[in-house]
Structure formats: C-alpha cells, structure tokens
Structure 1
Amino acid sequence: MNWIAIAALNLASAVALGAFGAHGLKSVANPEQLAWWQTGTLYFFFHALGLLLIGVLIKYFGFNQLPAWLLQVGIILFAGSLYLMALGAPRWFGAITPMGGLFMIAGWVCLAIVAFKNN
C-alpha cells in the first residue's frame, strides 16, 4: 500500500473540505454544524499529516503498516461522521465519532509499539 500517496490524497481532501466548510456551509449551516465541520477538518488534517509520517516510516524504515490502517479508519469514522452530521445526518451519527477517535488513538499507540520494537 502506498501510504505516502494516500496521505497526500487525504491532505488534499482536508484542504478542499475545509474550504467548502468555510465558504459553502457558512451561509446554510448553524453554528453547531460549522463547529462539527471544523473539528472534523482539524482532526482530518493532523492525522493525515501523521499518516504521511507513518508512510515515510513504512517506506524507508520497514515499519509495520498496522498504524497506518488504524489511522486511516479513524480518519474516515471520526471526520466522516462529523461531516455527515454537519450536512444534516441524524445526530446518532455522533456515536460513530468516538469510535473513530479510538482508532486514531490505537494507531498512535500501535506506532509507539512498532517504534519500540524497531529500536
């Protein structure tokens, strides 16, 4: 899996979605929806950058891919659920958001374990 390319696509998507939220949603969304969008974009961006770093570690240092998979699933669940709610999906989608956060945390913990093992 080319995690550097996936991270680059995530970063491009984060920029596009952030711009859409700032310009396209501003006139139609309420403050709570805008806050969900901003939170989703913020976490999307930071974790996409983390995924880029992990992609470099995988490609050049032979790190295990599991942290990348966990982060990618976390991004989709966390940011995706917030984006859907901001676009009008039922509030129960908010129950998915913490699962995405858990995947992100698991990805970072997994990276730490892999890094300790590669030391």
Structure 2
Amino acid sequence: MSNIDKKIVVTASILAALTIAIGAFGAHGLKNSVDSASLATFETGVRYQMYHVLALLVVGFASAIPVTTRKWVFLFFVFGIIFFSGSIYLLALKSILPFEVSFLGPITPIGGLLFIIGWLRLTFGLLTMK
C-alpha cells in the first residue's frame, strides 16, 4: 500500500468513526432539542458524509486508479464533507447554538459542488487510464 493509499484509507476510517458518532448524536442527542425539519437536515449531512467516506475507502484500496486521480478525489471529497456536511450540521443546530451560523448557508452548495467535481475527476481519471 502506497503512502497516498494509506493516507486515504486511514482518513476514511477516522471519518467513518466520526460519522457514526455524529449520526448517533443526531439520532439520540438531538431528538428533544431541535424540530423534526432540523433533525432531517442533520441526517442528510450524515448520509452524504458516509457516502463519501465509503467512496474514499474504495478509492484508497483501488490501486489501479492513477495516483493523481486518487489525490484529487481525496481532496475534493474531504473538503466536500467539511463544507457540505459541516455546514449542514451547524445550520441544523442553529436554534440551540449560542452564536449565529446563518452565514454558512452559501457554504453548503460549495460543498455539494466539491462532491460533484470529485466524482467528475474520478470519471475523468478512469476514462483516461492507460
């Protein structure tokens, strides 16, 4: 396993554990603290985070994918998780947070765009493989 593969798989494993913890917090800790719409929004963040964590695991173990492609997909997915899921978590919790987070609204679509670019970069890398 190369260094980049190890970095991707280790990061994905840590993010997977974090995703489970965040999901459990949402399912059990927020039930009585936020409304059902906010809880559903929070769960969307968890779901997209886990989808991309699993995709990172596949990319990390797929040594046939060119290294440059794996590096770019890794970056796009990790920053997509931070921007998309991270902003969704904070926006879903805005009613109970002691500070304002509404300014994060425009960050969520940037995270979604990073996910899309990551998938397109993976596609490009696979199509141009020799």
After TM superposition, is the score higher than 0.5? yes
What percent identity do the matched residue pairs reach?
37
Cα-Cα RMSD: 1.3
2:56 is matched with which residue?
51
Rounded to whole Å, the distance in 1 between the matches of 2:102 and 2:41 is 11
- The offset of 1:44, in angstroms, is 0.4
Q: 2:85 aligns with which of 51, 60, 79?
A: 79
Question: TM (normalized to structure 2)?
Answer: 0.84
1:106 and 2:117 are equivalent in the alignment:
yes
1:7 is matched with which residue?
12
**Structure number having the greater helix percentage:** 1
8 Å CA contact 1:63–1:118 kept in 2: the answer is no
Q: Which runs of 5+ in 1 are unaligned?
A: none
Alignment partner of 1:26: what SS? Answer: coil
Alignment partner of 1:118: what SS? Answer: coil
1:29 and 2:34 are equivalent in the alignment:
yes
1:94 and 2:105 are equivalent in the alignment:
yes
2:24 is matched with which residue?
19
- The offset of 1:30, in angstroms, is 1.1
2:76 is matched with which residue?
70
Per-residue Cα deviation, 1:67-115 (whole angstroms, up to 9, x for no partner):
1111110011000000011221533312111100000000000001111
Q: Which runs of 5+ in 2 are unaligned?
A: 95-99
